[in-house]
């Protein structure tokens, strides 16, 4: 492995990318479009969420509480229910997305300062709407509770504990409800996977098609130098995409970044090495740009979207498919990125995922090296 | 038909390229059939043959990028079947299809190959200037390869192939589709390299280029059917050539083909060339048979083209009988 040759190949490949609008489009424009498109589609504002109420308390206090909901622009009171059966029917018929169950002792609990638990039943089948509805419901509840606290202080009573009331969510139909925050790191993973494989799927095939490969294999350049040199520019593009994605998350979608930045970049580089090598392998085997890009899309896009757990929770999939997701690399990266990004987890808790990505990258890279021939067959 | 300095064993120590019974099959089809030849150091060896004869296939095997099916060969002393990577350090190759990077500029293409061949930093600039000067590309340094005309492209490709000063250069139809003036300047470069001791193995379809080679090999249907210097080949031509100038050569072609003593015939410029056993007899016979036509007939010394036309027709007849 000679640095001079690797850098010659890398530099040449950089120039290709810079001068070929297709590569630039795939590398920079498409990821951004995907992030914005999906980011907005998945975080679309929700208002006038249909609400049913089962008011067991039937007191002025409970009516004031419910009034807070009807007054909010986020909710629309569509009916009263007299029991869980009615709530279930309303949600199943999609008349309501959220139901509130105000307990019998609501007024007493609030008045005494003991507090009370209001149950919120949410249709989780559209996890996005559900997460919003839940967020709004919490907001309305909090402001009611603050009002109660304020009122009692104004009446000269002793200051009451601030958390007079709490909302106890029950999510139906999708217990692993994903929130908007949950989706964004997954989205980064999916975009990276698709882009990475697509970018490199063109490189070797293009050289075979144009005829430059015949020239190249008649030189002393080694297979390793060729592969490494070709990976470097796309690796840089991938890293740039990650940086852009984090910035978009931070400044456009307000996604809290709790993890360590270096850890995100480190795990992403391992993931990228695997995804880029996969595209390279496909390119080497097919020797055709068209075929190669099609295969890369099918091999990465579908599994990454459907089976990575990025939108569809893996726990809800049929068991055989759950088993199958274990070989989808995007799944591990989605988990890894979520863990680091949202929970600020350290590597110790994610070592399994990281090792899998490392092993995958090593395997695919070895295969690509093995399949690349400096011969015309 | 072998020339005096053409050994057939393929073991000459001076030989830079040496083939012995080299064969390449694609499935049932034999593209190169037991080719044996040697090329000496500093020689310009021309490899001729019609389309599909097996020229490119042979060159690819010599460059170590296509494994032979059987037979053996060495390039710069290295075995083409087992030491192909060592060979790649010793050769420059210009494939038949233009194969530089179209989106890269002249300088960027040179820099790329300079890196690939690991030309030392101290020599890099000097070699680059040498190539640019040799190819006459000083004005086009920053031009993308795709914007160069055919002749410039070929010269740049040659420049990139010899950037690292390889002792052996393989050129596969380097001048196809290039105008005659550019072709001449390209051949001046080839002579210059040869003068520096570089061995050159070149394929071509142009007879005037064949005349420029030190030695020629003629391949047809995968088989090497003639080998020698241009002079030797012409001297060894069996029979004589009659040139006929006439108005409608194509009609005449059909009428003279069947005459006794005519071995092969071909359209040639504005007339016909006939390969015959005895020129005087044939001229007399045609004058008798076709008195109505006003023909200008004369015996000429055979050119390489006459030679190859008659080879091909003889092979074609042998194949069909
Ligand atoms: N990879 C391959 N697979 C199958 N057949 C091949 C392959 N490469 C070459 N051939 C066949 O081998 C024969 C010789 O091809 P080759 O390219 O060597 O001819 P050539 O003498 O270079 O012709 P041209 O003057 O047209 O370049 C042709 O019939 C060609 O179709
Ligand atoms: Mg050819």
- On whether both B285 and B142 belong to a single domain, the answer is no
CA nearest A124: which of A98, A100, A93? A98
- On whether both A140 and A99 belong to a single domain, the answer is yes
- On whether both A320 and A220 belong to a single domain, the answer is yes
- On whether both B61 and B160 belong to a single domain, the answer is yes
CATH number of the domain bearing residue B195: 3.40.50.300
Q: Among A126-130, A198-202, B190-194, B213-217, name the one with the lowest average pLDDT.
A: A126-130
In a domain, B1, yes or no: no
Side-chain half-sphere of A337: how many Cα atoms within 13 Å? 33
Contact A219 B113 (CB under 8 A): yes
Mean pLDDT across chain B: 88
Identify whether the C-beta of residue A311 lies closer than 8 Å to the C-beta of residue A187.
Answer: no
Number of separate domains in chain A: 2
Q: Is A63 exposed, middle or buried (0-12, 13-18, 19+ CB in 10 A)?
A: middle
- On whether both B217 and B278 belong to a single domain, the answer is no
pLDDT in tens, B60-74: 999 999 999 999 999
- On whether both A225 and A269 belong to a single domain, the answer is yes
Q: Which of B217, B234, B251 is the last residue before a domain boundary? A: B234
- On whether both A85 and A199 belong to a single domain, the answer is no
Identify whether the C-beta of residue B18 lies closer than 8 Å to the C-beta of residue B7.
Answer: no
pLDDT in tens, B16-62: 999 999 999 999 999 999 999 999 999 999 999 989 999 999 999 99
CATH number of the domain bearing residue A142: 3.40.1710.10
Helix (H) or strand (E) holding A122: strand A116-123
- On whether both A350 and A334 belong to a single domain, the answer is yes
Q: Looking at the complex, report in whole angstroms how far the Cα of residue B318 sits from the nearest Cα belonging to chain A.
A: 32
> How far is residue A341 CA from its own chain's centroid?
10
Query: What is the end-to-end Cα distance of chain B in Å, rounded?
Result: 23
Cβ neighbors of A331 (< 8 A, separation 6 or more) are: A307, A308, A309, A314, A325
- On whether both A122 and A251 belong to a single domain, the answer is no
Q: What is the pLDDT of residue A162?
A: 45
Query: Where residue A176 falls among pLDDT bands split at 50, 70, 90?
Result: very low
Between CA A324 and CA A338 the distance in angstroms is 21
In a domain, A147, yes or no: yes
Side-chain half-sphere of B192: how many Cα atoms within 13 Å? 15
User: Average of pLDDT values for A243-252?
Assistant: 89
Interface test with B, best of A8, A17, A202, A218 (most B CBs within 10 A): A218
- On whether both B65 and B138 belong to a single domain, the answer is yes
Q: Looking at the complex, report in whole angstroms how far the Cα of residue A219 sits from the nearest Cα belonging to chain B.
A: 5
pLDDT in tens, B210-219: 999 999 999 9
Question: Both tokens of residue A76?
Answer: 């629309």
Between CA A220 and CA B77 the distance in angstroms is 17
In a domain, A328, yes or no: yes
In a domain, A113, yes or no: yes
- On whether both B20 and B153 belong to a single domain, the answer is yes
User: Average of pLDDT values for B255-277?
Assistant: 82
- On whether both B242 and B209 belong to a single domain, the answer is no
- Residue A377 CA: nearest ligand 1 atom is 1
pLDDT in tens, A54-107: 999 899 988 988 988 888 878 889 989 989 999 988 888 888 889 999 999 888
- On whether both A213 and A354 belong to a single domain, the answer is yes
Contact A11 B112 (CB under 8 A): yes
**Closest Cα to atom 28, ligand 1: which residue?**
B52
Contact B116 A220 (CB under 8 A): yes
Q: What is the pLDDT of residue A46?
A: 65
Sheet with B271-276, edge to edge strand ranges: B262-268, B271-276, B240-245, B296-300
Q: Return the number of other C-beta atoms located less than 10 Å from residue B132's C-beta.
A: 19
pLDDT in tens, A250-309: 888 877 788 888 999 999 999 999 999 999 999 999 999 999 999 998 988 888 888 888
The residue behind tokens 């690797």 is A6
Between CA B251 and CA B244 the distance in angstroms is 13
- On whether both B46 and B137 belong to a single domain, the answer is yes
- On whether both B125 and B263 belong to a single domain, the answer is no
Note the ligand closest to the C-alpha atom of B26.
1
In a domain, B178, yes or no: yes
- On whether both B295 and B226 belong to a single domain, the answer is no
Q: What is the pLDDT of residue A158?
A: 55
Strand partners, A76: A50
Query: Where residue A178 falls among pLDDT bands split at 50, 70, 90?
Result: very low
pLDDT in tens, A349-375: 888 889 999 999 999 999 999 999 999
Which chain B residues touch A if contact means CB-CB below 8 Å?
60, 63-67, 84-85, 88-89, 91, 93-95, 97-104, 108, 111-118
B24, B51, B54: which to mutate for ligand 1, most atoms within 8 A of CB?
B54
Pairing relation of β-strands B215-220 and B15-26? unpaired
CATH number of the domain bearing residue B291: 3.30.70.120
Q: Which of B234, B255, B286 is the last residue before a domain boundary? A: B234
Q: Is B150 exposed, middle or buried (0-12, 13-18, 19+ CB in 10 A)?
A: middle
* Phi then psi dihedrals of residue A287, to 5 deg: 60, 15
Q: Return the number of other C-beta atoms located less than 10 Å from residue A38's C-beta.
A: 19
CA nearest A322: which of A339, A310, A309? A309
Between CA A5 and CA B131 the distance in angstroms is 20
- On whether both B187 and B261 belong to a single domain, the answer is no
Question: Both tokens of residue A111?
Answer: 């008045």
Q: Looking at the complex, report in whole angstroms how far the Cα of residue B103 sits from the nearest Cα belonging to chain A.
A: 7
The residue behind tokens 């092969």 is B264
Q: Is A259 exposed, middle or buried (0-12, 13-18, 19+ CB in 10 A)?
A: buried
CA nearest A152: which of A105, A104, A115? A115
Q: Among A281-295, B142-156, B187-201, B306-320, name the one with the lowest average pLDDT.
A: B306-320
Q: Looking at the complex, report in whole angstroms how far the Cα of residue B207 sits from the nearest Cα belonging to chain A.
A: 26
Domain that holds residue B251: 238-301
Q: Kindly provide the b/e burial profile for residues A25-37, where b requires at least 16 CB atoms within 10 angstroms of the residue's own CB.
A: ebbbebbeebbee
In a domain, B7, yes or no: no
Q: What is the largest CA-CA distance in chain B?
A: 75
Model pTM score:
0.79
Q: Give the chain B residue whose CA is nearest to the CA of A19.
A: B103
- On whether both A110 and A255 belong to a single domain, the answer is no
In a domain, A310, yes or no: yes
User: Average of pLDDT values for B291-311?
Assistant: 82
| 3 state DSSP class of B202 | strand
- On whether both B188 and B261 belong to a single domain, the answer is no
Ligand 1 pocket residue status of B60, Cβ below 6 Å: no
- On whether both A239 and A364 belong to a single domain, the answer is yes
In a domain, A170, yes or no: no
- On whether both A245 and A366 belong to a single domain, the answer is yes
Query: Where residue A42 falls among pLDDT bands split at 50, 70, 90?
Result: low
Q: Does A370 touch chain B (CB under 8 A)?
A: no
Between CA A304 and CA A319 the distance in angstroms is 18
Q: Among A326-335, A366-375, B125-134, name the one with the lowest average pLDDT.
A: A326-335
Between CA A125 and CA A311 the distance in angstroms is 12
Comparing A362 with B178, the larger pLDDT belongs to A362
> How far is residue A320 CA from its own chain's centroid?
23
Q: What is the pLDDT of residue B101?
A: 94
Contact A5 B91 (CB under 8 A): no
Comparing A35 with B39, the larger pLDDT belongs to B39
Identify whether the C-beta of residue B68 lies closer than 8 Å to the C-beta of residue B20.
Answer: no
* Phi then psi dihedrals of residue A68, to 5 deg: -55, -40
Query: Cα torsion at B249, B254, B259, B262 (round to 10°)?
Result: 70
Q: Does A15 touch chain B (CB under 8 A)?
A: yes
Identify whether the C-beta of residue A228 lies closer than 8 Å to the C-beta of residue A280.
Answer: no
Domain that holds residue A84: 49-155
Identify whether the C-beta of residue A216 lies closer than 8 Å to the C-beta of residue A222.
Answer: no
User: Average of pLDDT values for B103-114?
Assistant: 96
- On whether both B25 and B130 belong to a single domain, the answer is yes
Q: Does A219 touch chain B (CB under 8 A)?
A: yes
Q: Give the chain A residue whose CA is nearest to the CA of B69.
A: A377
Question: Both tokens of residue A206?
Answer: 């293009």
Identify whether the C-beta of residue A176 lies closer than 8 Å to the C-beta of residue A313.
Answer: yes
Question: Both tokens of residue B273?
Answer: 């060339």
């Amino acid at each position: 492995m000679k640095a001079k040759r690797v850098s010659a190949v890398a530099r040449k490949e950089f120039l290709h990318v810079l001068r070929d609008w297709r590569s630039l489009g795939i590398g920079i424009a498409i990821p951004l479009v995907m992030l914005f498109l999906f980011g907005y589609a998945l975080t679309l504002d929700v208002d006038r969420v249909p609400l049913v109420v089962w008011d067991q308390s039937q007191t002025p206090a409970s009516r004031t509480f419910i009034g807070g909901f009807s007054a909010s622009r986020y909710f629309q009171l569509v009916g009263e229910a007299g029991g869980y059966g009615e709530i279930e029917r309303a949600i199943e018929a999609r008349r309501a997305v959220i139901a509130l169950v105000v307990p019998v002792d609501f007024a007493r609990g609030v008045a005494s300062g003991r507090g009370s638990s209001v149950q919120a039943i949410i249709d989780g089948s559209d996890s996005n709407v559900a997460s919003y509805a839940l967020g709004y419901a919490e907001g309305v509840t909090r402001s009611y509770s603050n009002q109660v606290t304020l009122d009692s202080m104004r009446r000269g009573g002793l200051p009451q504990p601030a958390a007079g009331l709490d909302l106890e969510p029950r999510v139906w139909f999708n217990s692993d409800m994903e929130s908007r925050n949950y989706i964004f790191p997954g989205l980064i993973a999916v975009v990276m996977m698709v882009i990475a494989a697509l970018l490199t799927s063109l490189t070797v095939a293009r050289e075979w098609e144009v005829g430059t490969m015949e020239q190249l294999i008649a030189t002393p350049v080694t297979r390793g130098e060729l592969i490494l040199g070709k990976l470097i520019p796309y690796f840089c593009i991938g890293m740039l995409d990650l940086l852009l994605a984090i910035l978009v998350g931070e400044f456009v979608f307000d996604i809290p970044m709790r993890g360590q930045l270096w850890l995100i970049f480190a795990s992403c580089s391992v993931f990228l090495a695997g995804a880029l090598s996969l595209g390279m392998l496909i390119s080497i085997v097919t020797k055709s740009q068209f075929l190669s890009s099609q295969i890369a899309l099918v091999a990465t896009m579908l599994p990454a979207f459907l089976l990575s757990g990025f939108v569809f929770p893996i726990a809800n999939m049929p068991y055989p498919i759950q088993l199958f997701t274990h070989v989808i690399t995007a799944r591990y990266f989605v988990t890894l990125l979520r863990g680091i990004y949202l929970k600020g987890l350290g590597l110790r808790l994610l070592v399994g995922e990281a090792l899998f990505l490392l092993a995958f990258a090593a395997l695919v890279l070895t295969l690509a090296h093995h399949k690349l021939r400096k011969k015309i067959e | 038909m072998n020339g005096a300095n053409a050994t057939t064993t393929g073991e000459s120590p001076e030989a830079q390229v040496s083939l012995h019974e080299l064969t390449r099959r694609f499935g049932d089809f034999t593209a190169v059939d037991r080719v044996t030849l040697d090329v000496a150091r500093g020689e310009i060896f021309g490899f001729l043959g019609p389309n599909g004869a097996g020229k490119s296939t042979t060159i690819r095997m010599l460059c170590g990028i296509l494994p032979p099916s059987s037979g053996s060969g060495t390039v710069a002393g290295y075995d083409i079947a087992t030491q192909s990577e060592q060979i790649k350090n010793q050769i420059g190759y210009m494939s038949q299809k233009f194969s530089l990077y179209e989106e890269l500029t002249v300088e960027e293409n040179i820099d790329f190959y300079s890196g690939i061949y690991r030309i030392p930093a101290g020599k890099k600039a000097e070699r680059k200037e040498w190539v640019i000067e040799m190819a006459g590309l000083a004005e086009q340094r920053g031009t993308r390869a795709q914007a160069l005309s055919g002749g410039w492209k070929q010269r740049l490709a040659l420049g990139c192939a010899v950037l690292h000063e390889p002792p052996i250069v393989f050129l596969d139809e380097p001048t196809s589709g290039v105008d005659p003036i550019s072709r001449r300047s390209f051949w001046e470069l080839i002579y210059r390299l040869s003068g520096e001791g570089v061995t050159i193995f070149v394929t071509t379809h142009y007879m005037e280029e064949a005349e420029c080679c030190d030695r020629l090999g003629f391949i047809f249907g995968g088989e090497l059917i003639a080998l020698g210097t241009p002079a030797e080949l012409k001297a060894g031509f069996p029979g004589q050539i009659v040139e006929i100038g006439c108005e409608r050569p194509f009609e005449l072609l059909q009428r003279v083909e069947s005459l006794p003593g005519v071995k092969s015939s071909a359209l040639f410029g504005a007339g016909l060339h006939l390969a015959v056993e005895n020129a005087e007899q044939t001229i007399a016979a045609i004058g008798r048979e076709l008195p109505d036509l006003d023909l200008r007939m004369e015996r000429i010394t055979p050119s390489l083209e006459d030679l190859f036309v008659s080879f091909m027709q003889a092979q074609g007849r042998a194949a069909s009988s």
